[in-house]
Amino acid sequence: MHRISARRRAAFNALFLLEHYFPRNQWIKRRRTVTRLRAVAEIRPQGEGRVAAVDRTPTLTPSEFHKRYLSKGIPVVLEKGASSWPLATGWSFDILRRRFGHEMIKLVQRKGVALDDEVVDGREFSEEVQFGSFIDEVLNAGKRYMRFSPLLERFPELLEDFDHAFFRAMSGNGWGITYQMFIGGTGSYTPLHNAMTSFFFVNVCGVKRWAMIPNHYLPILNPTADGFGYNHSAARLDPLNTEEYPGLDSIDRLEAVMHPGDVLFVPSWMWHCVKNDAPTIGVRCGFVDPAGMVREAFTLSFIRLFAARNPSTFEALYYTLFRRNLPERDKWLLTARLIRR
């Protein structure tokens, strides 16, 4: 693995933390830039970054998963891991349109996890659409993409189609699991981002292409310190924008392609971007892994707990553990803000 020294990473992390508390301090910004460029100078002599495939396996017991992947912060694809769940045969674009097509839903686009033309003046943007019309748009290569949607709270009967025993066994607990739906057409894309919670992603239909980058390379990805509950970077992998993000071509990354029925595990603070090669339906199933949060990124966990403002940790916990019946508008907007990955 191409590496940046612990001293350099610690310096960048400290400045990133300080910038959350003092976002207008120009000295902090200058020192952060200098530290980032020194990290670039360290990694560039190590050559071009390696691209490796994410592990794939058809079977994995909970003990094997905990030992080989969860405890080490390593992603893995469970091939056809959800193929026996009711959603494998009970969900499709046609079925969802027939059951819920007449309902009005909200699409929420959020800075950093949506494309530039999907947000308004760099801010959160929401719109109400008829679900059936949205599905038709997705199937006809429309540009709108449903990300991090609490649609399963709107249609709770869909939760019956998951194997909840799988999540309890694999995560080691049965509390705090959140479900967020993604529906997008061919070519739809989510930029590089990361967040605190680990998650399983269940791919119901279509083909999704993932790229993942360890948080070790935080100085190269250079995220903005904007106080969100997640981090985002404008670094691009295809094509590489190395002028704005020098050193990007020297970092290692993982890639995975998900097919219908596959289940992907993504650890805490693992950077990832996703492109849909075909119209897709998928669900992000987030869970709490305190040891992984601290192990993978202590500074980012501290920032999320004590410096995040939009939403704060207390808002996120209140919504996750206690408040289940929010007004419709608040539910969609707050859930979009959580994006706890």
Q: What DSSP string runs through 83-121?
A: TTSHHHHH--HHHHHHHHTTSEEEEEE-TTTS-GGGSBT
Where does the pLDDT of residue 335 fall: very low under 50, low under 70, confident under 90, or very high at 90 and above? very low
| pLDDT computed for residue 142 by the predictor | 86
In this structure, how many other beta carbons lie within 10 angstroms of the beta carbon of residue 161?
18
Residue located via tokens 């989510």: 190
Where does the pLDDT of residue 108 fall: very low under 50, low under 70, confident under 90, or very high at 90 and above? confident
Where does the pLDDT of residue 110 fall: very low under 50, low under 70, confident under 90, or very high at 90 and above? confident
**Can you spell out the DSSP letters for 239-251?**
TB-TTTSTTGGGS
| pLDDT computed for residue 329 by the predictor | 40
Kindly report, residue by residue over 289-327, the tens digit of the pLDDT: 999 999 999 999 998 888 766 665 556 655 555 554 444
Where does the pLDDT of residue 44 fall: very low under 50, low under 70, confident under 90, or very high at 90 and above? very high
Residue located via tokens 């399983």: 200
Where does the pLDDT of residue 340 fall: very low under 50, low under 70, confident under 90, or very high at 90 and above? very low
| pLDDT computed for residue 327 by the predictor | 43
pLDDT at 67 over 60: yes
| pLDDT computed for residue 333 by the predictor | 43
Interval 191-195 mean pLDDT: 95
pLDDT at 161 over 50: yes
Where does the pLDDT of residue 337 fall: very low under 50, low under 70, confident under 90, or very high at 90 and above? very low
Give residue 272's identity as a one-letter amino acid code: H
pLDDT at 69 over 70: yes
Measured N-to-C along each axis, helices 6-21 and 26-43 cross at an angle, to the nearest 10 degrees, of 160
Kindly report, residue by residue over 245-279, the tens digit of the pLDDT: 999 999 999 999 999 999 999 999 999 999 999 99
Rounded to two decimals, the pTM is 0.89
Instruction: Calculate what percentage of the chain has a pLDDT beyond 90.
Output: 74
| pLDDT computed for residue 229 by the predictor | 81
Which of 84-98, 110-124, 141-155, 229-243 has the weakest average pLDDT? Answer: 110-124
Q: What is the DSSP letter of 258?
A: E
Q: Which of the pair, 238 or 7, is modelled with greater confidence?
A: 7
Residue located via tokens 């560039």: 44
Distance of CA 34 to the CA centre of its chain: 29
Interval 59-68 mean pLDDT: 96
Q: ∠ CA 179-184-190 to the nearest 5 degrees?
A: 75
| pLDDT computed for residue 338 by the predictor | 44
| pLDDT computed for residue 332 by the predictor | 40
Which of 18-27, 196-205, 329-338 has the weakest average pLDDT? Answer: 329-338
Q: Which of the pair, 176 or 181, is modelled with greater confidence?
A: 181
Q: What is the DSSP letter of 44?
A: G
CB 279 within 8 A of CB 185: yes
| pLDDT computed for residue 162 by the predictor | 96
| pLDDT computed for residue 74 by the predictor | 97
pLDDT at 119 over 70: no
In this structure, how many other beta carbons lie within 10 angstroms of the beta carbon of residue 323?
13
CB 49 within 8 A of CB 252: yes
| pLDDT computed for residue 65 by the predictor | 97
Residue located via tokens 């830039």: 33
Mean pLDDT of all residues belonging to the chain: 89
Cis peptide before 150 (omega within 30 of 0): no
Phi/psi at 247 (5° precision): 90, -5
Which of 3-17, 29-43, 220-234, 265-279 has the weakest average pLDDT? Answer: 220-234
Long-range contacts of range 81-86, CB-CB < 8 Å, 24 or more positions apart? 81/166, 81/202, 81/261, 81/262, 81/263, 82/163, 82/202, 82/203, 82/204, 82/261, 82/262, 82/263, 83/260, 83/261, 84/163, 85/161, 85/162, 85/163, 85/202, 86/160, 86/161, 86/162
First to last CA, the chain: 23
pLDDT at 75 over 80: yes
> What dihedral do alpha carbons 100, 101, 103, 105 form, nearest 10°?
100
- Give the DSSP H or E segment for 19: helix 6-21
CA distance 335 to 234: 23
pLDDT at 334 over 50: no
CATH topology classification for 49-338: Jelly Rolls (2.60.120)
Domain positions in the chain: 49-338
Residue 271 has which token pair? 């950077």
